[in-house]
Amino acid sequence: GDQDVPYDPEQLRKIQEHPCYSENACHTFGRCHLPVAPDCNIQCNYCVRDFDCVNESRPGVTSKVIRPEESLELVQKVIDEFPFVKVIGIAGPGEPLANEETFETLKLIHEAFPHLIMCISTNGLMLPERIDELQQYGVGNVTVTLNAVDPAIGEKIYSFVNYHGKHYTGREAAELLLKNQLEGIRMAVERKMFVKVNCVYIPGVNDEHIPEIARTVGEMGAYSFNLIPLIPQYKFRDITPPTPAEKREMQDRCAPYIKQMRHCARCRSDAIGRLGHDVQSRIYGTEIVTKK
278 counts as binding ligand SF4 under rule CB under 6 A:
no
146 counts as binding ligand SF4 under rule CB under 6 A:
no
54 counts as binding ligand SF4 under rule CB under 6 A:
yes
42 counts as binding ligand SF4 under rule CB under 6 A:
yes
Based on CB atoms, which residue is closest to ligand SF4, 49 or 215? 49
Q: Select the span of 50-58, 110-118, 210-218, 248-256 touching ligand SF4 (CB under 6 A).
A: 50-58
Q: Is 270 exposed, middle or buried (0-12, 13-18, 19+ CB in 10 A)?
A: buried
Whole-number Cα distances in Å, 248 to 68, 187, 265? 39, 30, 15
Nearest alpha carbon to residue 120 among 193, 178, 40: 193
Residues in the chain: 292
Q: Select the span of 7-15, 52-60, 240-248, 250-258 touching ligand SF4 (CB under 6 A).
A: 52-60
**Interface map 61-100 toward ligand SF4 (x if CB under 6 A):** ---------------------------------xx-----
**Interface map 22-41 toward ligand SF4 (x if CB under 6 A):** ---------x--------x-
148 counts as binding ligand SF4 under rule CB under 6 A:
no
Residues whose CB falls within 8 Å of the CB of residue 97, separated by 6 or more in sequence, listed in order? 41, 120, 122, 123, 125, 126, 127, 130
Nearest alpha carbon to residue 26 among 229, 280, 281, 276: 276
15 counts as binding ligand SF4 under rule CB under 6 A:
no
Q: How far apart are CA 137 and CA 154, in angstroms?
A: 31
Residues 256-275 that bind ligand SF4 (CB under 6 A): 264-267, 275
Nearest alpha carbon to residue 234 among 140, 157, 170: 157
Applying CB under 6 A, which of residues 15, 34, 37, 53 lies at the interface with ligand SF4? 53
Q: Are 102 and 37 in contact (CB under 8 A)?
A: yes
Q: How far apart are CA 15 and CA 5, in angstroms?
A: 14
- Whole-number minimum distance, CB 26 to ligand SF4, in Å? 7
Q: Which residues of this protein are in contact with ligand SF4, per CB under 6 A?
A: 20, 31, 40, 42-44, 47, 49, 53-56, 94-95, 123, 264-267, 275
